[in-house]
C-alpha cells in the first residue's frame, strides 16, 4: 500500500493557500469555469473602457458606399445597412450593456437590501407592507414589468436602468429578509442590544455584513438577467434610444430582413450578448460555490 | 388547509388590486396619451377636436374615476375598447390567447422533455466530462437570448429550406403545423429547458446523498432502479414547482419570440399596444398575465402539498 504523502494532500486541499495570491491561485485552479467567467467579464469591461482606443471607426460614422459589407480586413465584423462598422458598434455597445447591467443591478440591490433589511429586522406592520409590495412586483415577469416601466418613463439610458432595476428589487429583498430573520435571533445581536446599541446600528453594522455573501451571488446572477433584459427591450424598440449603439437594437435592425443577405448582422451582436451573460453565469456559479457551498448544485 | 387556501385567496386579491393600481398609474405618468399619437401624424389639429376625442375616450376624467370605471368594467366582463382599432378589447385579445397558449404549452413540453433527462444524466454522472459538458450546455441555454435563438433558427431555415416559416393560424399539414408552432416553441423552451436541467440535477444530487438511497444500493438494487425508481420520483417535486412557475414566466420569452416569428399572439400584441399607448389593451393584457402568474404560483403550492404528504399548510 502506498504511503500517504500528507504534505501533497494538504497542499491539494489548499491548507497552505490561506491568503493573498496563493489563495487566489488556489481558488482559480479549483473553480476553472468561474475563472473563465471572470476573464470573460474582465475582457468586456476592458473593451468597454478602452473602446475609443481599440475601435478604428466611430460607431456612429455612416458610410453608404460600404453598406452591408461582409467581414474583411478593414471591417472585422462587416458593416450594417448604413455602412456603420459592426465591430465598433459591438465594442461601444458593451459600454451600454455593462452600464445598464451594473447600474440596474446596483440600484436594485440598494433598494432591495433596504426593503429586505427593514422588513426582516423590524417585522410587524413594516414587514407586512413590504411583503405585499414585493408580492406585487413579483407577480409580473421581469420583461413585462420592465416593458411597462420603460413605456411609462420614456426611452433613455437612465430610464432603462430604472425600468430594469425595479423588477430586480423583490429577489434581493426576499434573500436579505430571509437572512435577516435568521440573523436577528443569534446571540451576537442579542448581545449588541443588551449593551444599548441602537436598532439601526445593529442592523447596519452587525446584521447587514453577514448577509453580503448571498447578495453577491444573487447580484452576479442578476447582472446577466439585466443585460438580457436590456437587450430584449432594445430589440423590441423600447430600450436605449439612438444614437447609443445597443446590441439588442442591432439585432432588431437586422431581423428577418438581413438574415439571408448579411448573416453577420445577426451572428455577432447575438454572440456578444450570449458571451456577456454566459460570463456572469459562470462567475455567479463559482461565487455561489465559494461563498455558500450549501447551495452547490 | 382550508384556512391556508382562504388566506392565500385574500392575499392574491390584494396582490391583483395592487398590480392594477401600479399598472394604471404607470401608464398615465407619461405625458401625452393615445390622442396625441393619433393626431401626431396629422400635423396641426384643432385643439377642440382633440379635447372632444379625449372626452369621448374618457381621458379627461380624473385618474381615480378612470380607474374605477376600468375596474367596474373588468368585474362585469367589459374590458373597454381598443383606442387604435376601436373594437372591443375582448374581441382583440380573445382570438390571440389560444395561439400564445399553444406556444407556451409546447415550450413547457420541450423544456420538460429536454431538461429532465439531461438533468438526471448530469446528476448520475456527476464529476465526469459528460457532467461538465451538460452543465456548460445548460449555462449556455440560460445565456442565449430567446430572440437571437429565433433569428438563428430563421437563418437555418433559410439556409436549409430556402424559406422562412410563415405563420398560418390553420395549418393544413402536420409538417406545416410543426414548422409554425414547434420551431418558435423550441426557441422559447430552450432557456426553460436549461433551467429545468439545473434544478433536476441539483435535486437529484440531493436525493442521491440520502441514507435510503445508500440502503437501496446496499440491498443490491441496480443503479437503474436506484436512480429511476427511488431517486427520480422524489427529485421531481422541485422540478414540478419550477415548471409550474415557468409556465407563467414564459411570457417574457414569448414576447420576443412572437415578434421574431411574426406570430399574432397575446405577447406580441402587448408590445404593439405599449408602442401605441393603447391603454385598455395594455392594462387588460398585463392584468391577464398577472392573474395567470398568481394563479400558477397558487396551484403549484397546492400541488406541492398534494404530492408531498410531509407538507401541510396549517396555521
pLDDT for position B248: 76
pLDDT for position A151: 81
Least confident of A65-74, B46-55, B80-89: B46-55
A94-116, pLDDT tens digit by residue? 999 999 999 999 999 999 999 99
The more confidently predicted of residues B103 and A213 is: B103
Distance from CA of A284 to the nearest CA of B (A): 11
Q: Which of A34, A138, A140 to mutate to test the interface with B (most CBs of B within 10 A)?
A: A140
CB contact under 8 A, B15 and A277: no
The more confidently predicted of residues B304 and B94 is: B94
- B 198-237 near A (Cβ less than 8 A): 198, 201-202, 205
The more confidently predicted of residues A257 and A209 is: A209
The overall average pLDDT reported for chain A is: 86
All residues of chain B having their beta carbon less than 8 Å from the beta carbon of residue A248 are: 145, 147
Rounded to whole angstroms, the Cα distance separating B200 from A253 reads 38
Q: Does A41 touch chain B (CB under 8 A)?
A: no
pLDDT exceeding 70 applies to what percent of chain A? 94
The more confidently predicted of residues B2 and B103 is: B103
Contacts of B265 by beta carbon, 8 Å cutoff, 6+ apart: B96, B99, B100, B103, B254, B258
The average pLDDT across B237-261 equals 85
The average pLDDT across B63-81 equals 84
B197 pLDDT above the threshold of 70: yes
Rounded to whole angstroms, the Cα distance separating A252 from A239 reads 11
pLDDT for position B33: 64
B315 pLDDT above the threshold of 50: no
B20-47, pLDDT tens digit by residue? 998 888 877 766 666 666 666 556 566 7
- A 80-119 near B (Cβ less than 8 A): none
Q: Does A297 touch chain B (CB under 8 A)?
A: yes
The average pLDDT across A158-174 equals 91
CB contact under 8 A, B259 and A282: no
Q: Which of A132, A135, A239, A275 to mutate to test the interface with B (most CBs of B within 10 A)?
A: A135
The more confidently predicted of residues A91 and B167 is: A91
The more confidently predicted of residues B144 and B166 is: B144
Q: Which of B107, B151, B267 to mutate to test the interface with A (most CBs of A within 10 A)?
A: B151
What is the value of pTM for the model shown?
A: 0.86
pLDDT band at A17 (very low <50, low <70, confident <90, very high): low
Q: Helices A212-235 and A86-122 sit at what angle, rounded to 10 degrees? A: 140
CA torsion sign for B185, B186, B191, B197 is positive
Closest chain A residue to B33, measured at CA = A152
The overall average pLDDT reported for chain B is: 83
Burial class (CB in 10 A: 0-12, 13-18, 19+), A41: buried
Q: Does B252 touch chain A (CB under 8 A)?
A: yes
All residues of chain A having their beta carbon less than 8 Å from the beta carbon of residue B270 are: 144, 147
pLDDT for position A93: 93
All residues of chain A having their beta carbon less than 8 Å from the beta carbon of residue B271 are: 147, 236, 238
Contacts of A23 by beta carbon, 8 Å cutoff, 6+ apart: A14, A17
ipTM of the shown complex: 0.84
pLDDT for position A297: 47
Q: Does A209 touch chain B (CB under 8 A)?
A: no
The average pLDDT across A251-273 equals 84
A124 pLDDT above the threshold of 80: yes
B80 pLDDT above the threshold of 70: yes
pLDDT band at A86 (very low <50, low <70, confident <90, very high): very high
Three-class SS of residue A195?
coil
Burial class (CB in 10 A: 0-12, 13-18, 19+), A212: middle
pLDDT for position B37: 60
Q: From residue A60, how far is each of A90, A92, A95, A248, B59 by CA, in Å?
A: 12, 10, 14, 16, 40
B127-142, pLDDT tens digit by residue? 889 988 998 888 888 8
Full 3-state SS string of B231-285: HHHHHHHHHHHHHHHHHHHCHHHHHHHHHHCCCCCHHHHHHHHHHCCCHHHHHHH
3-state helix, strand, coil in chain A (%, to 5): 75, 0, 25
Rounded to whole angstroms, the Cα distance separating A167 from A129 reads 17
pLDDT for position B76: 84
pLDDT for position A254: 65
B282-297, pLDDT tens digit by residue? 888 888 888 888 888 8
Please tell me which of the candidates A139, A231, A274 has its beta carbon nearest to residue B19: A139
Asked if residue A113 lies in contact with residue A176, where contact means CB atoms within 8 angstroms, the answer is yes
Rounded to whole angstroms, the Cα distance separating A6 from A12 reads 10
A25-48, pLDDT tens digit by residue? 777 777 888 899 999 999 999 999
The average pLDDT across B5-9 equals 84
Amino acid at each position: 500500500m502506498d504511503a500517504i504523502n500528507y504534505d501533497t494532500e494538504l497542499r491539494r486541499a489548499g491548507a497552505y493557500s490561506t491568503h493573498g495570491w496563493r489563495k487566489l491561485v488556489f481558488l482559480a485552479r479549483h473553480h476553472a469555469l468561474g475563472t473563465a467567467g471572470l476573464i470573460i467579464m474582465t475582457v468586456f469591461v476592458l473593451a468597454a473602457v478602452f473602446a475609443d482606443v481599440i475601435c478604428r471607426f466611430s460607431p456612429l460614422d455612416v458610410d453608404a458606399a460600404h453598406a452591408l459589407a461582409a467581414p474583411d480586413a478593414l471591417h472585422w465584423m462587416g458593416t450594417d445597412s448604413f455602412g456603420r462598422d459592426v465591430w465598433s458598434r459591438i465594442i461601444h455597445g458593451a459600454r451600454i450593456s455593462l452600464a445598464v447591467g451594473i447600474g440596474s443591478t446596483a440600484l436594485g440591490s440598494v433598494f432591495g437590501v433596504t426593503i429586505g433589511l427593514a422588513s426582516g429586522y423590524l417585522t410587524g406592520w413594516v414587514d407586512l407592507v413590504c411583503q405585499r409590495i414585493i408580492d406585487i412586483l413579483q407577480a409580473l415577469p421581469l420583461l413585462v414589468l420592465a416593458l411597462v416601466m420603460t413605456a411609462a418613463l420614456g426611452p433613455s439610458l437612465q430610464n432603462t436602468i430604472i425600468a430594469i432595476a425595479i423588477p430586480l428589487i423583490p429577489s434581493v429583498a426576499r434573500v436579505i429578509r430571509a437572512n435577516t430573520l435568521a440573523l436577528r435571533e443569534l446571540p451576537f445581536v442579542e448581545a449588541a442590544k443588551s449593551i444599548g446599541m441602537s436598532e439601526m446600528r445593529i442592523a447596519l453594522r452587525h446584521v447587514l455584513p453577514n448577509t453580503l455573501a448571498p447578495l453577491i451571488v444573487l447580484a452576479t446572477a442578476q447582472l446577466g438577467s439585466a443585460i438580457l433584459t436590456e437587450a430584449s427591450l432594445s430589440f423590441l424598440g423600447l430600450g436605449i434610444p439612438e444614437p447609443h449603439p445597443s446590441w439588442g437594437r442591432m439585432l432588431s435592425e437586422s431581423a428577418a430582413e438581413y438574415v439571408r443577405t448579411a448573416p453577420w448582422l445577426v451572428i455577432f451582436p447575438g454572440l456578444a450578448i450570449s458571451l456577456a451573460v454566459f460570463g456572469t453565469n459562470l462567475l455567479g456559479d463559482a461565487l455561489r460555490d465559494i461563498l455558500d457551498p450549501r447551495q452547490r448544485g | 388547509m382550508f384556512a391556508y387556501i382562504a388566506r392565500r385567496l385574500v392575499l392574491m386579491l390584494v396582490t391583483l388590486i395592487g398590480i392594477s393600481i401600479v399598472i394604471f398609474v404607470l401608464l398615465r405618468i407619461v405625458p401625452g396619451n393615445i390622442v396625441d399619437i393619433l393626431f401626431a401624424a396629422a400635423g396641426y389639429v384643432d385643439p377642440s377636436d382633440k379635447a372632444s376625442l379625449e372626452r369621448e375616450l374618457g381621458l379627461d376624467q380624473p385618474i381615480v374615476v378612470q380607474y374605477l370605471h376600468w375596474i367596474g368594467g373588468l368585474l362585469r366582463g367589459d374590458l373597454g375598447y381598443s383606442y387604435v382599432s376601436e373594437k372591443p378589447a375582448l374581441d382583440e385579445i380573445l382570438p390571440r390567447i389560444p395561439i400564445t397558449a399553444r406556444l407556451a404549452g409546447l415550450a413547457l413540453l420541450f423544456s420538460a422533455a429536454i431538461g429532465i433527462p439531461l438533468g438526471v444524466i448530469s446528476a448520475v454522472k456527476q464529476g465526469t466530462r459528460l457532467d461538465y459538458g451538460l452543465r456548460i450546455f445548460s449555462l449556455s441555454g440560460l445565456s442565449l437570448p430567446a430572440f437571437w435563438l429565433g433569428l438563428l433558427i430563421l437563418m437555418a431555415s433559410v439556409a436549409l429550406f430556402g424559406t422562412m416559416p410563415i405563420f398560418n393560424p390553420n395549418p393544413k399539414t402536420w409538417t406545416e403545423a410543426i414548422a409554425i408552432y414547434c420551431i418558435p416553441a423550441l426557441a422559447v423552451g430552450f432557456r426553460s429547458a436549461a433551467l429545468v436541467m439545473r434544478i433536476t440535477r441539483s435535486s437529484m444530487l440531493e436525493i442521491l446523498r440520502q441514507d435510503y438511497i445508500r440502503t437501496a444500493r446496499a440491498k443490491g438494487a441496480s443503479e437503474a432502479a436506484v436512480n429511476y425508481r427511488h431517486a427520480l420520483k422524489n427529485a421531481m417535486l422541485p422540478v414540478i414547482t419550477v415548471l409550474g412557475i415557468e409556465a407563467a414566466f414564459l411570457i417574457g420569452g414569448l414576447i420576443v419570440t412572437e415578434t421574431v416569428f411574426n406570430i399574432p399572439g397575446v405577447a406580441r400584441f402587448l408590445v404593439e399596444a405599449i408602442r401605441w399607448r393603447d391603454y385598455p389593451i395594455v392594462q387588460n393584457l398585463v392584468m391577464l398575465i398577472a392573474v395567470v402568474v398568481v394563479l400558477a404560483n397558487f396551484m403549484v403550492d397546492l400541488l406541492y402539498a398534494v404530492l408531498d404528504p410531509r407538507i401541510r399548510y396549517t396555521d
